[in-house]
A and B are shown apart, each in its own frame.
Chain A
Amino acid sequence: MKPIKILYIEDDDSQRISFSKTLRNAGFKVTTASSGTKGLQKFNKNPTDIILCDLNMPGLDGIRVVKKLKKNNPELICIVTSAHGSIKSAMKAIEQGAYDFITKPLVIEEFNSSIQKALEQREMKKEIQKYASNLEDMVKERTEKLDYANKQLTALNKLSSRLSKFRNEDKLIERIPELLTKSLDFDRSLLLLDIDGRLTLRSFNFLHDSKKMTNTFERFVKNGNFPVNQIIHQCFNENRTIFKKNIKRFKSWENYSIELSEMPASYVLTPIRVKNIPIGVLAGNLQHHQRELEHQDIVRFETFTNIVGLSIDKIRGYQNLESKVKERTESLHTVNIELKKKARQLEKTSMDLAEGNIQLLAVKEILEEKNEVMQNVLSELSQRKNELQSLLDTSLSGIIMVNTDGKIVAANQVFNEFFDVDTGKFINKNIKEFNKKIGKKFASPKLYDKRVRSFLKSGKNRSTNVDRHVMFRDALEVVIPTHRYISLYSSIVEDRNGKIVGRVWSYTDITKEKESDEQVHAIIEVSPLPFIISRLHDGKILYANKPLADLIGYKVEDLVGRVTPDFYYVPQDRDKILAALKRNGFLKNFETQIITYSGEPIWMVLSLVITRIGGENVVVGALYDISKIKSALEKLAKANNEIKEAQAQLVQSEKMASLGMLVAGVAHEINTPLGAVMSMHDTLIRAIDKMKGIVKNSLSSKTTTKDDIQRMFDIIDDANEVITAGTLRVKQIVKELKTFARLDEADLQSVDVNECLEETIKLFEHELKDKVKLIKNFSDLPEIACYPAKLNQVFLNLLINSNQAIDKEGEISINTYTENSNICITIKDNGEGIPESSLDKIFDPGFTTKGVGVGTGLGLSISYKIIQEHKGDISVKSKEGKGSTFKITLPTNLISKLEGTQ
């Protein structure tokens, strides 16, 4: 260690000499100066470690010396000496940079300790300075590294955001080596992926290599035959980063034309991981650069590779999702198409149903009307039957009617007189019994029998060909009870269609006729049926009876002498009749119109026969008035046409009629419990199947399946409940529907109209829009005679109209009350109302305000018709935008009104 150098500045010579001696003895190297100026000069020439300086000196004093020295040498240790009592000056010196002051007389120990402290402090300062400068260097160095790292980070960040933009894995992989070399300052990079268990080179990037080298590697990528060396396998298999420095060449590549630089290179290899599973290897190579592979490079390389792994994962995730979403979209699309198809089918079915309903309704109406017509026809027929009976009763001939079985169906009482037999006893008995009985009464029973047989054998209508001469000739003689002559006739009876329905036997007493033709006239004259006798060749009327004259409005005497052609409404009919008469000698049941006195034609049916009376060929005709039947038939035909017309109208309207709309609501009501029951039933079947399995298992394995069995029991209990309740509900709905339609009650009935309304409302409620309020205000009503099903239909029509008239919110109020022995029903809504111009048309068939496709336009006209049938009245008051009120008035005495009109 070098001795410490001291410059001692002291003006007092004795003190200077003595203390410098002491200092030298203590081991310091001492130089001295006798004044401040000299001290400064000496220090500048030969600097010392320490200055010992007296304060009180002539010229430059100690304080100024310290100040000057410190100014140029801040590290210099200055110690000042002073006489006792000059502390103030000493403090001043310290302020100027002196380290310490020592009071005179100077003592070496005191000085030594002060020096020691000063030196220690100076060492510390130096130390601090050294640290300080070290710190600065470190900060500088770190800042540089940080800058570099920052740049790298920015690059990584950019890289990461660039990678995240890739949506295609192949494109990403192709770009990665290039991004690696550029952003992390590598010279070469390779990317290999595990493809079917084999590491395969997928992409690479060389910054400084020859074209030949690049071509070689491009072939590797293309052909997939890159010779993967051991270090790459190690990295992948051990799933860890590997780095090697100063590698010159890889042995395994020596056989390939891979040029490796002569310069030693560093390599980093890191496995690319997706969800922590290695899928390949990324390799980097530093070669041409001066810099060494450092720890940060490896960290960055690993980070880069991690980002690559995450990006691939992300892309795969996206692709997977994309394909799934695409798949779902396609399947949803298919479902959607199916749904639309199904909906169209359902719509069609629904329309078919509606149409079927309309047809049913039409058929129902036809049946009702036909029924009415049939009633009329039947009453006509019964009238005719009565007429026939009276004819039989008043006939002078014995007439007996036999059906095809030979059974007697009718006979008059004339036989009583002729043969003294009660014909009543033979009704419903066989004709043979009758013949046996009366045969005995003839003069020659055999002849009678023979005659009967000949009628049965001979043609069908021969008997009506009455030739008077034959009649007289063939007269049978009766001996019991009185003597008389009977002429027997028989005729087959045919119905309108020519079908044989029986035979009529007529026994005529011709005892008197045998004597006079006049007597024939007398018989005809008393006949209640119209008869006529006219001349064949010109039609001159020889005789007409009173019934005929009455029928056509003439007097008998006015008719006689006129000619028959005057009376045919269709002249050609007479030609036809004559032709038939000349051909067959007779004509039966010919329908023609005869002109009456008033000029009006009436329908008659004629039966004519040619005969000779008084030596002339004459035509005897029986006429029969069929005008009533005819008009009934015409009514029937007309009714038929009307029905057909109405049916066509209904069928043509393609959209739902009121009944169809009702069906929609009812369908919902039925389908809800039906759905529950059907589903539950299916569930029950499944549950029982499972139960069988459980029971079987429990029998074989003895494992407790109590919970499973209990679950099945619960389902079975639920099923019983749902199926029972659901079935009852459907039954109830069907009952309601039946009550509404009154399928079993087509006749006039005495009902409470309020109840009819309630029934209709019950079914209609399902149709009500949510925001439509229904207000009922019913008064007590007397029961009235009506057709409830038809009234229900009217109410339903009006309610449907009201509901449709209300666009959003609104109310429908129904009032019933009595008024002048009528009952009134009003249905009022606050909907859109009816334009004034339409008010007088709304009951016309086909008129609709609902627009195409909403209504048929028949609802109100049908309602009008139904109310007319009830001898009631339907009217409407309406204001556009305010609403409409329909009023129905029904008489309480419908039955007497109907009778009054008949």
Chain B
Amino acid sequence: MNESEWQPNIVIVDDEQLVLSSLNSFLSLETNYIVNTFLSANEAIEYIGNNDTDLVVSDYLMPEMDGITFLSKVRELKPEIPRIILTGYADKENAIKAINEVGLFHYIEKPWDNDDILIIFRNGLEKQRLLKTLQEKIREVDKANSELDGLQSEIVRAFV
């Protein structure tokens, strides 16, 4: 997969429109990502279930369900998508515990630094891209194998 042509599809969930607006503006200015923002975690889950998603970012404290619950649902749904939590909650212990339990790619603290966002998102997406490339390679090997099978049957036909 070519890095420069790839246009990643990312999902951001936060119950604050302020946060969604600022991240969306920033990413649309600095990246080619397709950004999908959601105020509701449930709507985001539905979207991820039906669409190819490369990265999921979520707030920690939300009314519907907290970010950890949400991201663990995303993991059940599509375990390969890198998951990032965005938290203003000063409770580091819990945040780190959550990273280990839910297998987060990263956590970002509010207020965040835009450059940090760029680097962390890029790393998460790179991981996702490599994963996709790996799958592509596996498909290629499979294809090569089936080509081999084809070659064999061709030889058999040549002899009959």
Contacts and interface: CB of A to CB of B under 8 A. Distances in A.
A524 to B, nearest CB: 73
Contact of A157 (B113, B152, B160): B152
Contacts of A260: none
Nearest to B151: A303
Contacts of A350: 90, 92
B109 to A, nearest CB: 8
B134 interface: yes
A770 B66 contact: yes
Contacts of B24: 718
A328 B92 CA distance: 26
Interface string A132-149: 000000000010011001
Interface string A671-685: 111111111101100
Contacts of A299: 155, 158
B90 A668 contact: yes
A128 B40 CA distance: 84
B16 interface: yes
Contacts, number: 159
B155 A668 contact: no
Q: Which 9 A-B pairs have the closest CB atoms?
A: A671-B88, A675-B110, A675-B111, A676-B18, A671-B110, A680-B22, A668-B88, A149-B159, A683-B26
B90 A343 contact: no
A668 B89 contact: yes
B18 A672 contact: yes
A898 interface: no
A346 B160 CA distance: 75
Given A300-B155, A680-B26, 20 more contacts: A296-B158, A303-B151, A303-B152, A310-B147, A310-B148, A313-B144, A317-B140, A350-B92, A668-B110, A671-B90, A671-B109, A672-B59, A673-B18, A682-B113, A683-B25, A686-B30, A715-B29, A719-B22, A722-B22, A766-B61
Main secondary structure of the interface of B (DSSP, over half): helix
Contacts of B137: 317, 321
B155 A335 contact: no
Contact of A718 (B21, B109, B114, B155): B21
A604 B50 CA distance: 92
A306 B21 CA distance: 55
B144 A674 contact: no
B142 to A, nearest CB: 11
A84 to B, nearest CB: 59
A679 B26 contact: yes
Interface in A299-337: 299-300, 303, 306-307, 310, 313-314, 317, 321, 324-325, 328, 331-332, 335
Contact of A667 (B28, B89, B151): B89
B96 to A, nearest CB: 5
Contact of A317 (B99, B126, B141, B152): B141
Contact of B19 (A303, A306, A340, A675): A675
A542 interface: no
Contact of B28 (A296, A314, A663, A711): A711
Nearest to A346: B92
B112 A675 contact: yes
A310 B148 CA distance: 9
Contacts of A675: 19, 22, 86, 88, 110-112
Given A310-B144, A671-B88, A683-B26, A722 B155 contact: no
Interface in B47-93: 59-61, 65-66, 86-93
Main secondary structure of the interface of A (DSSP, over half): helix
Nearest to A275: B140
B112 A679 contact: yes
A678 B114 CA distance: 9
A609 to B, nearest CB: 70
Given A664-B90, A671-B110, A303 B21 contact: no
B140 A690 contact: no
Nearest to A666: B90
A817 B107 CA distance: 46
B45 interface: no
Given A160-B148, A682-B114, A145 B22 contact: no
A317 to B, nearest CB: 5
A718 B25 contact: yes
A149 B22 contact: no
Contacts of A156: 152
Given A146-B159, A679-B22, A686-B30, A347 B92 contact: yes
A199 to B, nearest CB: 25
A756 to B, nearest CB: 25
Interface string B20-44: 0111111011100000000000000
A687 B158 contact: no
A683 B112 contact: no
A521 B16 CA distance: 89
Nearest to B159: A149
Interface in B110-160: 110-114, 117, 123, 126-127, 130, 133-134, 137, 140-141, 144, 147-148, 151-152, 155-156, 158-160
A299 B152 CA distance: 11
A711 B148 CA distance: 52
B22 to A, nearest CB: 4
A479 to B, nearest CB: 87
